[in-house]
Amino acid sequence: MSNELETVGCTHSLSNKALREQYRLAGFGGRVGWGERPAVLVIDMARAWVDTREQLGSDLGAVANEISRVLRIARAIHLPVFFTTMAYDPESEIGEVLKRKTPHCLTMVRGSGNVQLIGELKRRPGEALIEKPHASAFFGTNLLSILVGQGIDTVVVVGCSTSGCIRSTCESAFNYGMHAIVPRQAVGDRSPSAHETALFDIDNRFADVCEIGDVLAHLEQLRGSRGAVR
Amino acid sequence: MSNELETVGCTHSLSNKALREQYRLAGFGGRVGWGERPAVLVIDMARAWVDTREQLGSDLGAVANEISRVLRIARAIHLPVFFTTMAYDPESEIGEVLKRKTPHCLTMVRGSGNVQLIGELKRRPGEALIEKPHASAFFGTNLLSILVGQGIDTVVVVGCSTSGCIRSTCESAFNYGMHAIVPRQAVGDRSPSAHETALFDIDNRFADVCEIGDVLAHLEQLRGSRGAVR
Amino acid sequence: MSNELETVGCTHSLSNKALREQYRLAGFGGRVGWGERPAVLVIDMARAWVDTREQLGSDLGAVANEISRVLRIARAIHLPVFFTTMAYDPESEIGEVLKRKTPHCLTMVRGSGNVQLIGELKRRPGEALIEKPHASAFFGTNLLSILVGQGIDTVVVVGCSTSGCIRSTCESAFNYGMHAIVPRQAVGDRSPSAHETALFDIDNRFADVCEIGDVLAHLEQLRGSRGAVR
Amino acid sequence: MSNELETVGCTHSLSNKALREQYRLAGFGGRVGWGERPAVLVIDMARAWVDTREQLGSDLGAVANEISRVLRIARAIHLPVFFTTMAYDPESEIGEVLKRKTPHCLTMVRGSGNVQLIGELKRRPGEALIEKPHASAFFGTNLLSILVGQGIDTVVVVGCSTSGCIRSTCESAFNYGMHAIVPRQAVGDRSPSAHETALFDIDNRFADVCEIGDVLAHLEQLRGSRGAVR
């Protein structure tokens, strides 16, 4: 992350109290809270996004560490966990609009190393891997049906990028009437200003942006409770 | 609009050349251009959004003027025009998540003056009015089917709010493989920083943000051409 | 139902035991049963379908009576109830494909008496009326989001027509991971053979086709239980 | 088709002229015809459906031959061709409702031979393979976006099973405003009565059921025309 941008800051940020108040008065930014049956969605933690040598890549090591903490407790209490990646057959599945606006999609070749999940999150059998064609994990995939079929009413959304796939996934969850929780430290973006502005919009429009500690504490508290085991 | 915010500016903006270059290198922000058969989507130009006395309202008079210019030429060349508004039966259609995160939805009562289009855009018979339940004009509506059924491949998206319904509608259009064009001066937002940051994201991820003059010129050029008449 | 057709019969029917066994061996036709939180979907009980003088109409008086029985108990135990009808602005919302294949859509004019619910089912405030553009109540509407937002996992589907909107609505519910229950006597079709063949397909592919008495008994049993009150 | 069943007959069939007339009077069964840009959708021609030793399998050799004829001309004129199959990770993607109603889904294991396309249709590079989770090729997949992105307005639907995935795919195409063409001899079903009744419903509600010869002739006529080459 460039220090310059971090120093300059951005007016469109959760740290801007006047802006938050303006949105509150306009009827945005309420707290939704948790529902009864959460699942964890790990978005796009694959090489294309986390390897700094890749076109889309940035250093998300700290984010991956926080995700591991979420996964540790989620697995301990048997919450459903879903991973996503993006993958195409470039010859037949990528149209002109997609290719022109976001040419990086041509590097996301189904079956290539580029789209494989990073090993460190240790995806387990029983944790679905969803190949999604667009930013939202719900668009053009079977994710919604799987969640509804399991009675999931809450998604904890982690991974990358905050301003792209995280924001879009939160919007879809909100549109479908689901609670969405974003532990701030467990999402990342190649652009600090994009990260900041997206967190503001996510928190005001779609999902509750929370401290990672609060999310872990809520999950801990589900241990042994009926909601966590199904 | 607060002068303070306009003066301070925002790093996450199309006027930030370094940021645009960072995105270009990451494979974002290509030009998609126009397809062959455009339609115009006029998003949420109803009292709730354009009357400054309303909770969500802001002064969008200048935006409405630019939209009128787009409509004048669009109607002259017989392009399909669609209007949207948001409307609910609050008793039966608004769930807990929606109500808590965005309590302003409770004021969007189907049939009330609040959700009626402003008269100045003079919606005509044959121009559909779509009641949408969420930000994207495509979510939970029949819009996509109507567009596909007419062979529309390009949507000119105007109205409000840039960071909400405009951005979401552009994302859906992009996801469905459509060209989306946003004439910068014909979209508006109650928050100048939200407007700026959203235009950056829209232009880099989903749609071509253009000058209004260029959009009008393109439409003019369709006059008499085969693409405009169907 | 006409006796003539009942006598002639149709090989593709739930009364054909050999066919049911063939499907069972092929891995179809299992019992799904009820989930924990049911809602009632009353499909298209509007004049266009139930007035025998209308193009699409047929005598559904007996069906309406059975639906009233379902509604009586559903309302007593405070289950969510949803009604649907179909309605268009014919000038702007009906494309060539729709108009050519099913020209009756031109008579379903938004706001006309033709698309209004019959009075005898006495829709109450708080019971949503969904205008759907196609056969499935889930297609191009906000129904799914409303259901998910209320934690509904089971839909009791009643109304008409068995081979059109009932079948399609059951398929969508199934696709989205929901339990769907069809009380046989509370659905109807202008064509007895369409009714019979559709019930076979619905029961084998999407939903449990049940006797009305069993459905009423299940709802009765929810009285006072936690599942029914939310 | 077995002669036995043709003799027995089914009242709900395209060969029942009185029924066709009843539907015509009710505003069903119009001819939609072809649009300008067709693609071919080959539905579920994988081992699970075409190997008679499999739970779902039936003898679709004649159907495969007709599909090959369609593909030969479609490839010669460079029409887009799409194949589908169904595949799951049974541990994480199959919910209770799906498993109970259609237990055969447990045999459709992603990556297994069971879900691989039969070799005889010789899928080529550039012909997308879509893994679909439900009957319709459009549900929970990216197919619609790919088609819209290519300007496709017509789908020729072939494969199996007529009463399941063919019917559902045609309904989706119709719902999205697309022309759908079903060459009767190029679709098949394990159940002759299901095949007959489904063809009636498809032709009256969603798509034009045509003779294979007429479909081949139409494609031939596109040779060299502008519509076929893009």
pLDDT (0 to 100) of residue C165: 98
Name the strand (E) or helix (H) holding D81. Answer: strand D81-86
How is residue A199 written in tokens?
């967190």
Cα separation, B129 vs B22, in Å, equals 40
Candidate from D97, D126, D128 with C-beta closest to A149: D97
How is residue D70 written in tokens?
């369609």
Which amino acids of C are annotated catalytic? 165
Look at A128 and D93 and tell me if their CB atoms are within 8 Å.
yes
Interface test with B, best of D36, D37, D142, D148 (most B CBs within 10 A): D148
For residue D26, the chain C residues in CB contact (below 8 A) are: 55-56, 104, 190
Cα separation, A67 vs C212, in Å, equals 50
ipTM (interface pTM): 0.94
B176 touches chain D (CB under 8 A): yes
Candidate from D11, D33, D107 with C-beta closest to C10: D11
DSSP calls for B20-77:
HHHHHHTT--------SSEEEEEE--BHHHH-TTSTT----HHHHHHHHHHHHHHHHT
For residue B127, the chain C residues in CB contact (below 8 A) are: 92
How is residue C67 written in tokens?
């639906």
User: Which has the closest alpha carbon to D112: D92, D131, D137, D139?
Assistant: D131
pLDDT tens over chain A, length 230 residues: 333 333 345 689 999 999 999 999 999 999 999 999 999 999 999 999 999 999 999 999 999 999 999 999 999 999 999 999 999 999 999 999 999 999 999 999 999 999 999 999 999 999 999 999 999 999 999 999 999 999 999 999 999 999 999 999 999 999 999 999 999 999 999 999 999 999 999 999 999 999 999 999 999 999 867 444 44
B150 → chain D, closest CA residue:
D177
A151 touches chain C (CB under 8 A): yes
User: Which has the closest alpha carbon to D110: A111, C182, B16, B20?
Assistant: A111
Q: pLDDT at residue D3 above 50? A: no
- The per-residue pLDDT of chain C, averaged, comes to 93
Share of chain D above pLDDT 90, in %: 92
Distances (CA, A) of A138 to A82, A134, B121: 12, 9, 35
Half-sphere exposure of A118 (CA within 13 A, CB side): 23
Candidate from D36, D149, D177 with C-beta closest to B177: D149
- Residue ranges and CATH numbers for the domains of chain D are 30-222 (3.40.50.850)
Read off the pLDDT of each residue in D170-197 and give the average, rounded to a whole number. 97
How is residue B28 written in tokens?
């974002």
- Spatial CB neighbours of B125, under 8 Å, sequence gap ≥ 6: C91
How is residue C50 written in tokens?
């139930």
Q: pLDDT at residue C10 above 70? A: no
Cα separation, D81 vs D70, in Å, equals 10
Angle B97-B103-B107 (CA atoms, 0-180°, nearest 5)?
125
Candidate from C149, C176, C177 with C-beta closest to A177: C149
Query: Does the predicted model carry a pTM greater than 0.80?
Result: yes
pLDDT (0 to 100) of residue A10: 65
C151 touches chain B (CB under 8 A): no
Interface test with D, best of B147, B148, B172 (most D CBs within 10 A): B148
Cα separation, C29 vs D112, in Å, equals 24
Share of chain C above pLDDT 90, in %: 92
pLDDT (0 to 100) of residue B230: 44
Task: Express each pLDDT in D42-84 by its tens digit.
Answer: 999 999 999 999 999 999 999 999 999 999 999 999 999 999 9
A vs D: CB pairs below 8 A? 58
Cα separation, C157 vs C137, in Å, equals 10
Q: How confident is the model at residue B224 (pLDDT cuts 50, 70, 90)?
A: low
Look at C126 and B95 and tell me if their CB atoms are within 8 Å.
no
Helices (H), strands (E): how many in chain C? 10, 7
Q: What is the DSSP letter of A67?
A: H
User: Which has the closest alpha carbon to B160: B48, B6, B4, B2?
Assistant: B48
Candidate from D82, D96, D149 with C-beta closest to A149: D96
Q: How confident is the model at residue D11 (pLDDT cuts 50, 70, 90)?
A: confident
Cα separation, A137 vs D219, in Å, equals 38
For residue A90, the chain D residues in CB contact (below 8 A) are: none
Cα separation, D49 vs D43, in Å, equals 10
Look at A91 and D126 and tell me if their CB atoms are within 8 Å.
yes
Q: Which of A18-27, C7-16, C90-99 has the lowest mean pLDDT?
A: C7-16
pLDDT (0 to 100) of residue D224: 65
Q: pLDDT at residue D9 above 70? A: no
Q: What is the DSSP letter of B85?
A: E
Is A176 within 8 Å of A146 (Cβ atoms)? no
Share of chain B above pLDDT 70, in %: 93
For residue B101, the chain A residues in CB contact (below 8 A) are: 28-30, 32, 174, 205-207
Task: Express each pLDDT in D85-95 by its tens digit.
Answer: 999 999 999 99
- Spatial CB neighbours of C21, under 8 Å, sequence gap ≥ 6: none
pLDDT (0 to 100) of residue A166: 98
Cα separation, B225 vs A178, in Å, equals 47
Look at A10 and B10 and tell me if their CB atoms are within 8 Å.
yes
B vs C: CB pairs below 8 A? 58
pLDDT (0 to 100) of residue B3: 34
- The per-residue pLDDT of chain D, averaged, comes to 93
How is residue C128 written in tokens?
């949503």
Q: Which of residues 49-88 of C touch D (CB under 8 A)?
A: 55-56
B149 touches chain D (CB under 8 A): yes
Task: Express each pLDDT in C166-203 by its tens digit.
Answer: 999 999 999 999 999 999 999 999 999 999 999 999 99
- Spatial CB neighbours of C107, under 8 Å, sequence gap ≥ 6: C48, C54, C55, C56, C114, D27
Distance in Å, alpha carbon of B133 to nearest chain C alpha carbon: 7
Cα separation, C116 vs D59, in Å, equals 48
Catalytic annotation present for D165: yes
What do you get for the CA distance between the two ends of chain B, in Å? 42
Read off the pLDDT of each residue in B120-130 and give the average, rounded to a whole number. 97
Read off the pLDDT of each residue in B167-185 and give the average, rounded to a whole number. 98
How is residue A159 written in tokens?
């991974």
Task: Express each pLDDT in B41-74 by its tens digit.
Answer: 999 999 999 999 999 999 999 999 999 999 999 9
Tokens 């090729």 sit on residue: D137
pLDDT (0 to 100) of residue D223: 87
C vs D: CB pairs below 8 A? 146
Which amino acids of A are annotated catalytic? 165
Q: What is the DSSP letter of A109?
A: B
Name the strand (E) or helix (H) holding C31. Answer: none
Cα separation, C181 vs C79, in Å, equals 14
